[in-house]
Amino acid sequence: MQTAPPSPAPLPGFAAVFGEQLSVIGRSLRLEAMILGAAFALLTALTLYELSRGSMKPDFPLDAAFLLATTAFVMPYAVWRDEKLFSHQHFAILPVDRRRHIAIKTLAGAVWLGGAVAWIMLWLAMIGVIAGSDLGIDRYLVSGQIGPKGEISPDQLRMVRWAPETWNWISAFTTAGVFYLLGTAFELGVRYKLRWLAVPLVFFLLLAINPLGVTQQLAETTIELLLVSPLGLDNALSGGAETLDRLVLVGGKETTAWTGLPSMENWLRATTFWLVLSGGLFWLAASRHKEA
């Protein structure tokens, strides 16, 4: 019937696949977006109300980083819930290399996440403009030695004003990025996710039993490493803001004070580490589905 061999069927280009995934993810997350949007609208209304009464001084929410991280970690579940990757359904049938396809879809999801973060940053900036504030914080800074119960002398304290720098604004994106990649790695790499609930259960069980006090020690060390070490999450998220907080006693009265200022160097070092780690874990998880 045919004399010449037919030309091979064309493959879709990156732009077509990326664009399509952008559209699919956007549409499939519509419900979640609407819920978050409603929550945000409420927050905006409350904030504006408080501002108008003059009873609020908006500041850069350094401790909201945890909330952002959690949301970014959970987002991949919504992104991938229709795909059933492990049973090789529709997604794997399409004419794109599976691992590359996963990477493109992950990127498309990241674009939506980045957009959401940008939107939130803009909102924050707007609030600052409306309130006529630089979103800074007036805080006590403690210098010198602190006693075992937190006692210090009054001359160790001084008031400082800290205003968010460029890196603080950028940290929202990197925080979201790191946890999005970690969440995606979990989503892609772990087939029987419910089994992993056993991990924290076992952990808490061991803590309760606490053989030889070793578990307690181990837990403390792990948490220390994970959160407050130079490469820990606290540094990655906010340049160490959490750990800097201390409750101190001045002449019998309790005050919160910072033992130092959130530092860009700490942040940069820790964030780079976590970006590389989460990126590596993502690639490993994606490779679980690779073709050749």
Residue 32 touching another protein (CB under 8 A): no
User: Radius of gyration (Cα) for the chain, nearest Å?
Assistant: 24
Residue span binding another protein (CB under 8 A) among the ranges 24-32, 180-188, 198-206, 223-231: 24-32
Q: Which is nearer to another protein, 75 or 96 (CB)?
A: 96
Q: What backbone phi and psi angles, to 5 degrees, belong to 282?
A: -60, -45
Count residues binding another protein (CB under 8 A): 31
Take residue 218 and report the two structure tokens written for it: 């181990």
Residue 78 touching another protein (CB under 8 A): no
Question: At its nearest, how many Å lie between another protein and the CB of residue 284?
Answer: 19
Q: What angle do CA 244, 245, 247 make, to 5 degrees?
A: 135
Residue span binding another protein (CB under 8 A) among the ranges 2-10, 169-177, 233-241, 265-273: 2-10
Residue span binding another protein (CB under 8 A) among the ranges 1-9, 181-189, 208-216, 246-254: 1-9
Residue span binding another protein (CB under 8 A) among the ranges 41-49, 96-104, 114-122, 219-227: 96-104
288 class by beta-carbon count within 10 Å (0-12 exposed, 13-18 middle, 19+ buried): middle
Question: At its nearest, how many Å lie between another protein and the CB of residue 41?
Answer: 24
Q: Which is nearer to another protein, 100 or 246 (CB)?
A: 100
How many angstroms separate the Cα of 175 from the Cα of each of 115, 119, 269? 14, 15, 13
Residue 3 touching another protein (CB under 8 A): no
Q: Which amino acid is at 115?
A: G
Which of 24, 103, 120, 281 is close enough to bind another protein by CB under 8 A?
Answer: 24
Residue span binding another protein (CB under 8 A) among the ranges 77-85, 157-165, 196-204, 218-226: 77-85
Which of 4, 55, 90, 194 is close enough to bind another protein by CB under 8 A?
Answer: 90
Which of 46, 52, 57, 84 is close enough to bind another protein by CB under 8 A?
Answer: 84
Q: Which is nearer to another protein, 22 or 146 (CB)?
A: 22
Which of 14, 41, 42, 95 is close enough to bind another protein by CB under 8 A?
Answer: 95
Q: What angle do CA 214, 215, 218 make, to 5 degrees?
A: 85
Residue 136 touching another protein (CB under 8 A): no
**Could you give the CA distance from residue 60 to residue 170 in angstroms, rounded to a whole number?**
13
Site string for another protein, 44-63 (x = CB under 8 A): --------------------
Residue 22 touching another protein (CB under 8 A): no
Residue 27 touching another protein (CB under 8 A): yes
Would you tell me the crossing angle of helices 98-131 and 264-287 to the nearest 10 degrees? 150
Residue span binding another protein (CB under 8 A) among the ranges 46-54, 82-90, 195-203, 268-276: 82-90
Binding-site ranges for another protein (CB under 8 A): 1-2, 6, 8-12, 16-17, 19-20, 24, 27-28, 82-84, 88-98, 291-292
